[in-house]
Amino acid sequence: MKVLKLHHYTLAFVGTLMFGLSGCTDAGSEPTAAKPAAKEADKHEHPTEGPHHGHLVELGKEEFHAELVHDKSVITIYLLDSAAKAAVAIDAKNLVINLKHDGKPEQFELAASPDAGDAEGKSSRFTIDNAELAEHLEHADSEARLSVTINGNPYSASLAHSHDEHEHNHDH
């Protein structure tokens, strides 16, 4: 009987080992097959322009976006969600654009100008009427950075200018 018990335990051990190894093999092959799907799931479309047809700027690790829209004097920044589609209203009274041009730093405050859908006391739109700032935003030798605090977290992003973005008509 002792031989039979030993044989029984051996068979159970070998069976468990084989089952475990076959499980590992199958599990090991699943992640390999799942990795391309996971990579494709991580890919998402990046809009080329914002809902107001302006230049998009990532804030943080795409936690939020800012959309820059301007003409010859009025500059507007819209705050948007991570998909750059929905407005994000914050309780700030202004945003700041830090500009460096001709070797000189200059700072501009864009005042809150609540959009129609913004909750009372909050704004997703900020504006300034300043022809000098608008002109400097067009110059490649100017460096502009947006600074904003959203939900207690500070964000800063470059407002790099690209002439290619302005070759189409903004009057949609």
pLDDT tens digits for range 97-147: 999 998 899 999 999 999 999 999 999 999 999 999 999 998 888 899 999
Range of weakest confidence among 24-28, 45-49, 103-107, 110-114: 24-28
Q: Which comes out higher in pLDDT, residue 7 or 132?
A: 132
Range from 17-21, 26-30, 121-125, 140-144 that averages highest in pLDDT: 121-125
Displacement of CA 26 from its chain's centroid (Å): 37
This prediction's pTM: 0.68
Per-state percent for the chain, helix, strand, coil, to nearest 5? 30, 35, 35
Strand, helix or coil at 25?
helix
pLDDT, mean of residues 45-55: 83
**pLDDT > 70 fraction of the chain, expressed in percent and rounded:** 66
